[in-house]
C-alpha cells in the first residue's frame, strides 16, 4: 500500500513558524515520524511539500494509478482553494485532511475548510500526531475498501 502525504504552504518553516501554534518539530522531524510510522504499519509513504497551489494540484492528480490514498495538510489553501478541493474530488481516492492546530478554535476565517466536504474526514489539533492519526485512518480506509 502506498500513501502520499502533501504538506501545503509555509509548512517548510515548521519549527520556526509560530511554535506556540504549530509546535517545535521541524518539517524534517515530522517527516521522520511519518516515515517511522509507515515502516511500523508496513506501508510505503511518499512525502511532498509545496508552497504553490498549482504544484499541489499536480501532486494530487499524480495520485491516480500511483497511490492508494492521500493525507494532505492544505494549510492556508484549506480555507479558499477551490482548485485543490476539485483535485481532491476528482481523484476518487480516500483523502484525509490534517491540520496541526485546531482550526475550529482559531480565527473565524480558519473554521471553514473547502476541502473537508470532499475528503473522508478531517483531523485537526493534535500537532504532529494529526499526521500520524491521518496516516492510520487512510490505511484503514484502504484496507476496509479492499476487504
Instruction: Give the interface with ligand DQA as residue ranges (CB under 6 A).
Output: 10, 73, 75-76, 78, 99-101, 103, 110
Contact 8, 97 (CB under 8 A): no
Q: How many CB atoms lie within 10 A of CB 81?
A: 21
**Smallest distance, ligand DQA to C-beta of residue 143, A:** 26
2 vs 110, which CB is nearer to ligand DQA?
A: 110
**Smallest distance, ligand DQA to C-beta of residue 36, A:** 20
Catalytic site includes residue 99: yes
Contact 48, 7 (CB under 8 A): yes
Catalytic residue among 99, 104, 111, 131: 99
**Cα torsion for 16, 124, 49, 110, to the nearest 10°?**
-80
37 vs 75, which CB is nearer to ligand DQA?
A: 75
**Smallest distance, ligand DQA to C-beta of residue 125, A:** 8
41 vs 76, which CB is nearer to ligand DQA?
A: 76
Q: 114 in helix, strand or coil?
A: coil
124 vs 142, which CB is nearer to ligand DQA?
A: 124
**Smallest distance, ligand DQA to C-beta of residue 22, A:** 6
Give me 10's grid cell. 509555509
The C-alpha cell 522531524 sits at 29
Q: Which helix (H) or strand (E) holds 47?
A: strand 44-49
How far apart are alpha carbons 39 and 117 in whole angstroms?
Answer: 30
As annotated, the active-site residues are 22, 99
Amino acid at each position: 500500500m502506498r500513501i502520499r502525504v502533501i504538506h501545503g504552504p509555509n509548512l517548510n518553516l515548521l519549527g520556526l513558524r509560530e511554535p506556540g501554534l504549530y509546535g517545535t518539530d521541524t518539517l524534517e522531524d515530522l517527516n521522520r515520524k511519518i516515515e517511522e510510522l509507515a515502516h511500523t504499519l508496513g506501508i510505503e509513504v511518499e512525502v511532498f511539500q509545496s508552497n504553490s497551489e498549482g504544484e499541489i494540484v499536480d501532486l494530487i492528480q499524480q495520485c491516480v494509478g500511483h497511490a492508494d490514498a492521500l493525507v494532505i495538510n492544505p494549510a492556508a489553501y484549506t480555507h479558499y482553494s477551490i482548485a485543490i478541493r476539485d483535485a481532491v474530488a476528482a481523484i476518487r481516492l480516500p483523502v484525509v485532511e490534517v491540520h496541526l492546530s485546531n482550526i475550529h478554535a482559531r480565527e473565524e476565517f480558519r473554521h471553514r475548510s473547502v476541502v473537508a466536504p470532499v475528503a473522508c474526514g478531517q483531523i485537526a489539533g493534535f500537532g504532529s500526531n494529526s499526521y500520524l492519526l491521518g496516516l492510520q485512518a487512510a490505511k484503514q480506509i484502504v484496507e476496509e475498501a479492499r476487504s
